[in-house]
Amino acid sequence: MGQTTSLRQEFIQFSVQSGVLRFGEFTTKAGRQSPYFFNAGLFHDGATLAQVAQFYAQTLLDSGVQFDMLFGPAYKGITLASATAVALAGKGRNTSFAFNRKEAKDHGEGGTIVGAKLQGKVVIIDDVISAGTSVRESVEMIRAAGAEPCAVLIALDRMERGGKDGQISDLSAVQEVTQKYGIPVISIGNLDDLFGFLNGAGADPQLAQYKDAVAAYRARYGIV
């Protein structure tokens, strides 16, 4: 357990240092004013992508989930699944992967799936889950191919209640995915880890100033 907790804290620290996890005032897709923002698209150089892939790979192996291959939904999931497959191979677990095109190819082999044939138990790899649309589309593609979606692996679980049109759900987007599809959602880090980082003895004073704002946001939108 201690090793897992350490990995999660290391991931939060790495995300902050990489500028992928930022603090301030941001507007989410749901129109909420959030004191933090996570953008995995900023893992855009070789060193940071290699490091985040190590976090994905180790988290997946530590989860104990039985899997045969990886699937990365377009677009961010493509890079994340590819890099995670490389990291897994480096840990002695050679795993095939596939991803989808946004539009079907009308020449060559055609179709929307690129890479390995979807088969067996498939882990969907993405950055975060907001509306769950990407997961739904991925689950449908995997099942249509006769394979089994067995888990979703994401970087950060915001642990935030969903909702739209001013209504707030009792469940987070992650919980809704688990409930709807009956598959676990594994995260490298979550809002509790983020708050723990800000609250830690070694926290940067410049970052510690956002602790109250994150606590207030969690109290208002966080899942119980």
pLDDT in tens, 159-199: 999 876 567 788 998 999 999 999 999 999 999 999 999 98
> Would you call 107 a catalytic residue per the annotation?
yes
| pTM for this model (two decimals) | 0.91
* Structural domains of the chain, with CATH: 2-221 (3.40.50.2020)
Asked if 74 and 99 touch (Cβ cutoff 8 Å), the reply is: yes
Could you say which DSSP state residue 41 is in?
G
- Residue 158 annotated as binding? yes
- Residue 211 annotated as binding? no
| Tens-place pLDDT, residues 6-46 | 999 999 999 999 999 999 999 987 788 999 999 988 999 99
- Residue 101 annotated as binding? yes
Asked if 144 and 150 touch (Cβ cutoff 8 Å), the reply is: no
- Residue 127 annotated as binding? yes
- Active-site entry in 91, 105, 164, 180: 105
Give the pLDDT of residue 106: 55
